[in-house]
Amino acid sequence: MNHVRRRLADALWMSVLLLYAMLNVATVPFHGDESTILGMTNDWFRLTNEGVSALYYQPKRLESLGRGAQELRVLNGTLAPFMYGAALQVVGIGADALHGMWDWATDWWVNQYYGHFPRPDVLFVGRWASALALCVALACFFAAARRLLGRQPAYLALLILTFMPAVLLNGRRAVFEGVALLGAALIWLAAARLATGKTRYGDWLLLGAACGVALAAKHTNLLLIAPTFGALLWLGRATFIRTLRGLALAAALMGTLFLALNPAWWSDPFGVPREVLRLRAELLAIQTNAFGRNTTVGDRLLALVAFPFGAPQYFEDTNNAWQDWLAESIRSYENGAQGVAWYAAAPLVYALLLIGIASLPKQRAAALISIPLFGMAAGLFLSNPLLWQRYYLPLSFPLALLAALGVARLSALFLRMRSPNAR
């Protein structure tokens, strides 16, 4: 009976927080990437109508959406466009309702004139699909936190993660982040199962599937996958060969699933990765030139702790006109229940993080929290010159765990001080 009551309490706690995460989806301030990614849902309709070969990467082939469509197809994750396209098809919206992709070289009004804004119904469906993916991610994270920290700290960790403004904002938009967070949460859940139980082959297969989905959702999830493999190898050092076999199995399944979810790569599985690296370097140079600046070591270090818990970054473009274009929608969004007030508690959260770090060595699977956290932080510090908040979202998971540990530690000290037997 107690077990049933605990499960009901878990379900009720999750339901309340997931409902909160679904609020205000319609009033989220618009982002130009929503136009581009919803435009990419054309790939879903081409896949279902013309077959897989329609999505092969062939640079010399012209498409209705221009040469950029092919580059976007291999540079970005496929799961979000496929999922949004499938959702549109389910509600009866076809490819003829799609629009042109956002033109970052022009302003709001020019994009509006040339039809680069998604139709309201298309935008609404895409956002709800992303928010649903975010909700599944939160549920998976709760299951992982319960394994790693115990039931009560997991409640706190889910509360903290759900109220992070950056997680809510980007998870509710029709961009890559909702699906990317789902992929990351699946990795945390699979890794937590391996770190806190028997390392069965089924769990290694689950890890491989989770990594394949996460990588197909957004390539930057590789920054989580690599240190997670390292953490599991460290935790399994007593059975090194068995652990190595399990990781090899997971890696093989990850690669297979990633390739299966990226039909564009099928035309040249060995040549396309080189092309992706070249295009990625070019795009990063363009983005840094247009929207970035010369970041210092201090800027990058501050971003690692300020962005996950900080105020939401509604736009990354340094063009001040965006502040005017989004002013009304930002006011509308912030007047609703979306968690923006949470960043006012940031100083307290940082204190909790320090207490959580101090408590970490006592945790059974401390390596599974610390190695991915510091591995991702190092990867972002070294590779990312753009101070864009959404790039730092993968840090939200381990940071929420540490903050929850900090609250649990303070609560335990307080109860000990209140105890009649305390000296």
Question: What distance, in Å, lies between the first and last C-alpha atoms of the chain?
Answer: 37
Q: Is 7 within a domain?
A: no
Cα dihedral across residues 371, 373, 376, 382: positive or negative: negative
Which tokens is 283 given?
């795009």
Q: Is 18 within a domain?
A: no
What confidence score (pLDDT) does residue 145 get?
Answer: 96
Q: Is 375 within a domain?
A: yes
Q: Is 4 within a domain?
A: no
Q: Is 69 within a domain?
A: yes
- From first to last of the 423 residues of the chain, give the pLDDT tens digit: 677 888 899 999 999 999 999 988 989 999 999 999 999 999 999 999 999 988 998 876 655 555 578 888 899 999 999 999 999 999 999 999 998 889 888 889 999 999 999 999 999 999 999 999 999 999 999 999 999 999 999 999 999 999 999 999 999 999 999 999 999 999 999 999 999 987 888 999 999 999 999 999 999 999 999 999 999 999 999 899 999 999 999 999 999 999 999 999 998 888 899 989 998 888 888 888 777 666 788 889 989 988 998 888 998 876 668 888 998 999 888 887 554 556 666 678 888 899 999 988 887 789 999 999 999 999 999 988 888 999 999 999 999 999 999 998 888 887 777 766 655
Please tell me the distance from the alpha carbon of residue 59 to that of residue 73, in angstroms, as a whole number. Answer: 11
Domains in the chain, number: 1
What confidence score (pLDDT) does residue 404 get?
Answer: 94
What confidence score (pLDDT) does residue 344 get?
Answer: 62
Question: What residues contact 406, with CB distance under 8 A and at least 6 apart?
Answer: 351, 352, 353, 354, 355, 356, 359
pTM of the model: 0.93
Whether the Cβ atoms of residue 5 and residue 41 lie closer than 8 Å to each other? no
Q: For 338-386, write each residue's pLDDT tens digit.
A: 545 566 666 788 888 999 999 888 877 899 999 999 999 999 999 888 8
What confidence score (pLDDT) does residue 309 get?
Answer: 86
Indicate the SS3 state at residue 34.
helix
Question: What residues contact 376, with CB distance under 8 A and at least 6 apart?
Answer: 223, 224, 227, 394, 395, 398
Backbone angles phi, psi at 248, to 5 degrees: -65, -40
Residue 24 to residues 32, 335, 340: CA-CA distances in angstroms? 19, 10, 12
Cα dihedral across residues 321, 325, 326, 331: positive or negative: positive
Task: Find the angle CA(306)-CA(412)-CA(351) to the nearest 5 degrees.
Answer: 15
Whether the Cβ atoms of residue 194 and residue 52 lie closer than 8 Å to each other? no
Q: Is 9 within a domain?
A: no
What confidence score (pLDDT) does residue 154 get?
Answer: 95
Q: Is 20 within a domain?
A: no
Domain range holding 53? 26-418
Of 102, 97, 100, which is closest to residue 125 (Cα–Cα)?
Answer: 97
Q: Is 145 within a domain?
A: yes
What's the 3-state SS for 338-350?
A: CCHHHHHHHHHHH
